[in-house]
Amino acid sequence: MVEAVQDAGVVVTGAGGGIGAALARRFAAEGARVVVNDLDGEKAKAVAEEIGGIAVAGDASAIVGDARDALGGTVDVYCANAGVAFEDGGAGGPLDERSWAVSWDVNVMAHVRAAHELLPDWLERGRGRFVSTVSAAGLLTMIGAPSYSVTKHGAYAFAEWLSLTYRHRGLKVHAICPQGVRTDMLAATGSAGDLVLHPTAIEPEAVADALFRGIGEDRFLILPHPEVAEYYQARATEPDRWLSGMNHLQRKWEEAR
């Protein structure tokens, strides 16, 4: 058991399946009281009933108040997990206005809005925990998905900003950055996902395991795929070599389509 989450009030957005459901199950197993949020109310209810949690359906950008009420007035841990992904960078180019707008709203602004609601109480109490499900795309990038890549960089940058700004006031922040995870979102990535993500894809439960190791070690950056650290270092220290390697993947993807 991780003492930091025992009897904690936890909110997990996008928890009707995939990584979110795995996080909700793990927090419940560790003794937390869990609000399960999803746009799909039936999915949220099913997971909540399974773990003895509370279902709160709705847009992840606007459920902090309802979730707080459901937990008796206090949120101790907020998992900003809800996300969207589009394959929008093929032959038609990178500009798909709808995918950019939705990606920005869900992948970045939902985190900002939640933090805005949560911070006053957390700073007054001197403690709180914000968990951001980012993606390795937020450290690196993803072929064929410009709006996903850019907004996941934004989500990671916001998590960094929260940590550097408020860690001395008791805020703990964790950014989870996996590569492929066997979820419906991975299935929807199409041929680009088949090429880049499927070969090393892991189960959602492995992501939850990685998060809890990170909580136990008080680590900001959570890498369920440890090799991402090497890719991230290469991107920073040898950007042209790294870009050439990614361009090789891009050309391989184009040839296979």
CA 202, distance to chain mean position in Å, is: 15
Residues in the chain, overall count: 257
Q: Strands 54-57 and 77-80, how do they pair?
A: unpaired
Token pair 């299935």 is found at 187
Question: How does 108-121 read in b/e, with b if 16+ C-beta sit within 10 Å?
Answer: bbbbbbbbebbbee
148 is catalytic: yes
Instruction: List the catalytic residue out of 78, 148, 156, 166.
Output: 148
Question: Given the structure tokens 């439960």, which residue do they identify?
Answer: 205
Supply the residues annotated as catalytic.
148
